[in-house]
Chains A and B, each alone.
Chain A
Amino acid sequence: MAVLTVADVERIAALALLELTDDEKQLFTRQLADILDYAQQVQAIDTSGVPATAHVHAGQRTERDDEPRASLPVEEAVANAPDANADAGLFRVPRVIGG
C-alpha cells in the first residue's frame, strides 16, 4: 500500500482546502509517496497493548473558576481581517446562502 495516485492527492487537497496546480499535484504525488513509503516502517513494530501518547502531560488538571474576565475588544479582534465591518463586529465573506 501507500502507492499514492494523483486522484488520492486530489482527494486530500479537497479535504485540506488546498487548490493545487497540476504541477503541484504531480510533485506531491511523487514526494508524498516517497515519505509514506518510508513511514510505513512503523507498521512492522509490535505495539499490541501499547497505549498512544498524544500528549506527554495528558491528565494534568487545567480547570479554573468560571469567572468572566476581560477579552480582546471587537475592533482589535477584526483589525487584521482582510474584509471586516468593524462597527458591526463582523467578518465579511462571499455569500454562503442563496445567490
Chain B
Amino acid sequence: MVQQTARAIRDDIAQGRASASDVCRAFLERTQALNPTLNAFNHVAADRALARAKAIDAQRAAGASLGPLAGVPIALKDNMSVRGMRTTASSKILDTYVPVYDATVVQRLEAAGAVILGKTNCDEFAMGSSNENSAYGPVRNPWATDRTPGGSSGGSAAAVAARCVPVALGSDTGGSVRQPGSFCGVIGLKPTYGRVSRYGLLAFASSLDQIGPLGRTAADAALVLSVIAGADPCDATTAREPVPDFSAALTGDVKGVRIGVPRTFMADGVDPAVLRAVDDALATLNSAGATVVDVELPHAKYAIPVYYLVATAEASSNLARYDGVKYGHRADDAKTLREMYSRSRDEGFGPEVKRRIMLGTYVLSAGYYDAFYLKALQVRTLLRRDYEQAFEKVDVVAMPTAPTPAFRLGDKTDDPLQMYLADIFTVSAPLAGLPAISVPCGFADGLPIGLQLTGRFFDESMLLRIADAYERVTDWSRQSPAI
C-alpha cells in the first residue's frame, strides 16, 4: 500500500478497490513507525486524518463525486497554516501557535479530497539547507540516517522518500523544495512565482517564497500542482495566468525539446559523481529525442550573494511581526515594551534566524542600502536577462540541483557561509521568478542525485513533461530506501 503513487491511490479509492480509511491507517502506521528515527514530522494529526478519510469513504458510499485527490494522504511543511492545527515553522517563537484560518493551499487540497496527515519538520522559518536549524531537532535522511535530508523542506522530502506519504508540500525560497528533493531522491517542483497562493504560508522572503509539491513521480507532482495552482484574491501576487491541466502535459515524448546546459557555470566545485549522473541524464534525454546545447548564464555565479542579500533583507522585514504581542512567545516580566520585544525575540528565534535578520537589517540600513541591497536587485535584473537570452534558444536550462549528494549532519553547521555556498544551483530560479524541478537522476555511494531543470515563466508543463519522459526510460524514481 505505502509504495503506491497518489494517482494509483486516488484511482483505487474512486473505483472501490481500497477505502480511504485503510489507506490513511497504512500511511499513519508507517509514519508512526519511522518518525522516531527520521524526525520528519513535527506533528502527526492522526485523529483528524482518520476522520477526513472516513468522510471520503462516506462520500463515495453515498455516490457523491470525488475530488482529484480524494483519500490521498499528504504532509505539509510546518510553515503552512491549518486552522486548529499547531503550526510552528520549527521555531520556538511559535511553539504554541494554532492558526485560526486555513492557507489557500490547505483549502484547495481539502476541497479536492486530500487527507492531511501532519506537519513536517523544516529549518526554522524555512531558513536553511540541511534542516539542522529546527527547534525540534534535525530530520534524518532515509537513505543514510547520518546525513541531512536537505532543507529547508527536509521533513517533507524525507517523508515522501520513506513512503510515510505519497506526496507532500514544501516551500521554496532559494531551493528549499528542490534541494531536499535531490538529497532524498524524490521529485521537487518550485512553481513560477505567483503560480501558487502564499496566503497562509508563514512568510520568509515574499518576492521569492513559493509553495511546491514533492512526490515520487512527475505525474503526482502534476496532480497536486493542478489542485493548488491559480489566482487567489487573498494573495495579490498570484498570477491570473490560466492554469493548464498539468497531467495532460505528460506525453512521454521529448522529441524536439531543446535543453541548454550552462557548462561554464558548472565548471567548478561540482562533485564528479554528480556531474557524471547529470551528463548521463542529458545523454538519455538526447537519445529520447531532445537536443542538448550549451548556454551561458554569465551572472549565475553571483546568485549566492544576490540571494542572501535580497532574501535576508525581506526576512528582516517579515519577521518584525514576531513581537510577543499578537501571537507567539513573550518573555516574562519585561518592564518596558522595548524590553519585551527584544527579549521575546532573543528567546524565541534560533541562531540562523537571528543571523539573517541581522544581515538583512544591515544591508537595508543607511549607508549600506545602495552598496548591498540595491546593487543586489540590479544584479537580479542581469540574472533575469541571462535566462531570457537562454530561453531564446532553448526550452529549459539543465544543471545539477546541488553540487554534492547529501552531506553529513554537522558538516557545515559551524560555517554559515559554507552552508550558503551549497545553494549555488538553486537560488537563481527564484531570483528570476522561474519554475524549476529536481528529478532523481542517479546515486553516488547509495545517496541520491538530482537533475535540475529550469523553465520559462508559467511553463511548469515542460518541466513535468521532461521529468515524466525521463522517468519512463530510467528507474531512479522507483528506488526505495532500505529504511
Q: Mark A24-38, 1 if CB is under 8 A from B, else 0.
A: 100110011011101
* Cβ-defined contact, B100 with A79, below 8 A: yes
Interface size for B (C-beta < 8 A) is 70
Q: Is B193 an interface residue (CB 8 A)?
A: yes
Q: Which residues of B contact A79 (CB under 8 A)?
A: 98, 100
Interface residues of A in 34-56 (CB under 8 A from B): 34-36, 38-43, 45, 47, 50-56
A24 CA / B428 CA spacing, docked (Å) = 31
CB distance from B203 to the nearest CB of A (A): 14
Q: Which residues of A contact B97 (CB under 8 A)?
A: 80
Given contacts A51-B378, A56-B432, A79-B100, contact A31 B306 (CB under 8 A): no
Interface size for A (C-beta < 8 A) is 53
* Cβ-defined contact, B308 with A35, below 8 A: yes
A81 CA / B321 CA spacing, docked (Å) = 13
* Cβ-defined contact, A12 with B358, below 8 A: yes
* Cβ-defined contact, A52 with B378, below 8 A: yes
Q: Which 9 A-B pairs have the closest CB atoms?
A: A56-B433, A52-B377, A80-B327, A82-B330, A47-B378, A19-B342, A62-B236, A39-B305, A76-B100
Query: B-side interface residues toward A, CB under 8 Å?
Result: 96-98, 100-101, 193-194, 207, 233, 236-237, 239-240, 299, 302, 304-306, 308-309, 316, 320, 323-330, 334-343, 345-346, 349, 351, 354-355, 357-359, 361-362, 365, 371-372, 374-382, 384, 416-417, 420, 431-433
* Cβ-defined contact, B326 with A91, below 8 A: yes
The residue that A51 contacts in the complex, of B100, B361, B381, with Cβ under 8 A, is B381
Q: Which residues of B contact A81 (CB under 8 A)?
A: 325-327
Q: Which residues of A contact B379 (CB under 8 A)?
A: 42, 45, 47, 50
CB distance from A67 to the nearest CB of B (A): 12
Q: Would you mind naming 15 contact pairs between A and B with Cβ atoms under 8 Å apart?
A: A1-B371, A12-B362, A32-B355, A36-B359, A42-B309, A47-B375, A52-B378, A55-B207, A60-B194, A60-B237, A72-B101, A77-B100, A80-B97, A82-B329, A96-B337
Q: Which residues of A contact B337 (CB under 8 A)?
A: 93-96
Given contacts A16-B357, A20-B354, A45-B302, contact A39 B309 (CB under 8 A): yes
CB distance from B194 to the nearest CB of A (A): 5
Query: A-side interface residues toward B, CB under 8 Å?
Result: 1, 8-9, 12-13, 15-21, 24, 27-28, 31-32, 34-36, 38-43, 45, 47, 50-57, 60, 62, 64, 72, 76-83, 91, 93-96
The residue that B374 contacts in the complex, of A12, A24, A27, A52, with Cβ under 8 A, is A52
CB distance from B427 to the nearest CB of A (A): 13
Closest-by-CB residue of A relative to B378 is A47
Closest-by-CB residue of A relative to B380 is A53
* Cβ-defined contact, B207 with A56, below 8 A: yes
* Cβ-defined contact, B375 with A43, below 8 A: yes
Closest-by-CB residue of B relative to A31 is B416
* Cβ-defined contact, A15 with B365, below 8 A: yes
Q: Which residues of A contact B308 (CB under 8 A)?
A: 35, 39
The residue that B345 contacts in the complex, of A9, A19, A21, with Cβ under 8 A, is A19
A29 CA / B351 CA spacing, docked (Å) = 13
CB distance from B293 to the nearest CB of A (A): 26
* Cβ-defined contact, B358 with A18, below 8 A: yes
CB distance from A11 to the nearest CB of B (A): 8
A17 CA / B342 CA spacing, docked (Å) = 5
Q: Which residues of B contact A16 (CB under 8 A)?
A: 316, 345, 357-358, 361
